[in-house]
Structure 1
Amino acid sequence: MEYEGQICRPPMEKSSFMLATAVGCAYNQCKFCNLFKHLNYRLLPLEQIEAELRHVRAVGGNPKQVFLGDGNAFGMETSRLLCILEKIYHYFPNCQMVNMDATVTDIRNKTDKELYQLKKAGVGHLYLGIESGIDDVLIFMRKDHNIEQAYREIQRMKDAELLYDAHIMTGIAGMGRGIENAEKLAEFFNHTQPERIINFSLFLSRSVALYQDISAGRFIPANEVENLEEARRLLELIGEKPVLYDGFHDKLEFRVWGELPKDRQKMLKKLDSAIETYSRKEPMIAYTH
């Protein structure tokens, strides 16, 4: 299947078979995101999805894990999701779980019964774009939720035994607020206890709405040392429940990953080294084209 747009999936899904089920993101309003701005959101025909499954099986494919694309596959109507799940498990009998991105609103729009149905039908991990632990930052960035809503909907999905993973972005609170954001996120995660945390440190595209705020002085970006310090404070404060963390600072070509709390000291040491190195250089801000 030809994939329209940019392929975007969590690093933990790199060995999953990625099955396109839609084009773009149904929400597509976050100020910082440029992944889907050029796309008109639409669902792919079920016939096209099934043809891809049939083709992959015909060439010997039988993946143990499937990741549904595009931006927020969990937002589809439950009846459609259940139909896709049934087809996946029919064509791939060895499949153990089907994972996908979701928004807090996607969960809110499903009843408790639907969440249980989807879990029973084979949904495993849901990756939620939490991004920040501060309400005014979420409002400014046009996220679809506030912290109270995130607490409530994550508890509902966990009651249904769906697996909760979190996307965050160091730097999203702007200059001077990284430590505050880290401490609020740590508090949030210590209560909600995700299985995985993925940090795609904020990159600043000139093509998105946030750049207009930067030009007008309404948002002052943090530099990359601040972002590293924010990540360090977060890892320092996350509690004792095991959680996988994978943090990307693409401007620096720097990555820190491991399992907390087991690898905490090793990860902090790596961040300390990077902070020391880049503190001696000219401040860098993660602009991209």
Structure 2
Amino acid sequence: MDLQGTVIRPPSEAGSILLQVSLGCTHGKCAFCGAYLDKPFAIKDRQTVSADIEFAAARCRGIRKVFLCDGDALSLPQKRLEGILGEIQEKLPWVTRVAAYGNARGLRRKSDAELRRLRRLGLGKVYMGLESGDDVTLAVMNKKSTAVSMVEQGQRAVAAGFNLNVTVINGLAGVERSLVHARETARILNLMQPHQVAALSLMLVPGTPLHRRWQSGEFVLPDARGMLVELREMVAGLELKKGLFLANHASNYLPVRARLPRDKARTLLALDAALDGELALKPEGLRGL
């Protein structure tokens, strides 16, 4: 497989065929993100992608999921995406689901009919990085999307039939706006009603603007307790009608897996126990990206 540079994929895609259809991210300027510092955005040529699909056809017959890398696969032209999905259906008929990252800008470029067409061709899951529901935090982080715009595009993805998985980042607002970030993120998630929420804890990446702000003292990162207080505030505000809430990424201090709304009370009790020192937290040295 032709995998160029650092390849990022969601934890739940660990067992998937990683098919790199593009490089980097169309924006690539979020202050906190160091995922694609090694490569500018580019669309990979059809011959290379086709060769990788042929490789998977010969070597990956037991793998039933495909993840389209890199960070912005939905920004590919519609005909190009349809061609890739059609080729996956033809050459990898045992694959039951294709997934990709999708941001608000990429989704906005697709009509409702085009999104439904991608769904019929096998694209089943879209991962969206909300990061925060607080527009002040989004602007400071140079996200280039407002919370409302991400709600609108997330709702369109759900209406088209996609399983929507939304990522949020604890600690992203720093100490100063920590609770505002938590409350606004819960409010926006309630409007969006994704199928799954994945909460990560911010880890500063050298070489990013946010890391430089932290070094200069401009940005103050919440400590472990601050991260837990923020996470508890977020969970307390969530009113998901049906969905999975995960905070079991390697970056998190306390693993959380909750089916909402059923497990909300149990999750809040666990977070309270951790804040009271009754549950051990992950040591700093074991946290990772």
Q: Which amino acid aligns with 2:167?
A: H
**2:59 maps to 1:59:** yes
Q: CA deviation at 1:41?
A: 2.3
* Count of residues in correspondence between the two structures: 287
Are residues 254 and 3 of structure 1, via their aligned partners in 2, closer, same or farther at CA, if it must alter by over 3 Å? farther
Corresponding residue number in structure 2 for 1:102: 102
Corresponding residue number in structure 2 for 1:260: 260
Cα contact 1:195–1:242 (8 A) shared by 2: yes
Cα contact 1:201–1:248 (8 A) shared by 2: no
Cα contact 1:137–1:172 (8 A) shared by 2: yes
**2:203 maps to 1:203:** yes
Cα separation, 2, equivalents of 1:57 and 1:249:
31
| Structure 1 residue runs without a partner (length 5+) | none
Corresponding residue number in structure 1 for 2:146: 146
Q: Which amino acid aligns with 2:36?
A: F
Are residues 34 and 49 of structure 1, via their aligned partners in 2, closer, same or farther at CA, if it must alter by over 3 Å? same
Q: TM-score, normalised by structure 2?
A: 0.89
Between stretches 141-150 and 51-60, larger displacement belongs to 51-60
Cα separation, 1, equivalents of 2:248 and 2:256:
7
Alignment of 1:1-289 (within 5 A): 1-59=1-59, 61-248=61-248, 250=250, 254-277=254-277
Cα contact 1:99–1:125 (8 A) shared by 2: yes
3-state DSSP of counterpart to 2:199: strand
Q: CA deviation at 1:182?
A: 1.6
Percent identity of equivalent pairs: 27
Are residues 209 and 240 of structure 1, via their aligned partners in 2, closer, same or farther at CA, if it must alter by over 3 Å? closer
Q: CA deviation at 1:203?
A: 0.7
Cα contact 1:204–1:287 (8 A) shared by 2: no
Cα separation, 1, equivalents of 2:2 and 2:277:
42
Cα separation, 2, equivalents of 1:218 and 1:249:
27
Cα separation, 2, equivalents of 1:55 and 1:286:
35
Q: RMSD of the alignment, in Å?
A: 2.7
Q: Which amino acid aligns with 2:260?
A: L
Cα separation, 2, equivalents of 1:185 and 1:255:
19
Cα separation, 1, equivalents of 2:278 and 2:221:
17
Cα contact 2:26–2:41 (8 A) shared by 1: yes
Cα contact 2:169–2:201 (8 A) shared by 1: yes
Q: TM-score, normalised by structure 1?
A: 0.89
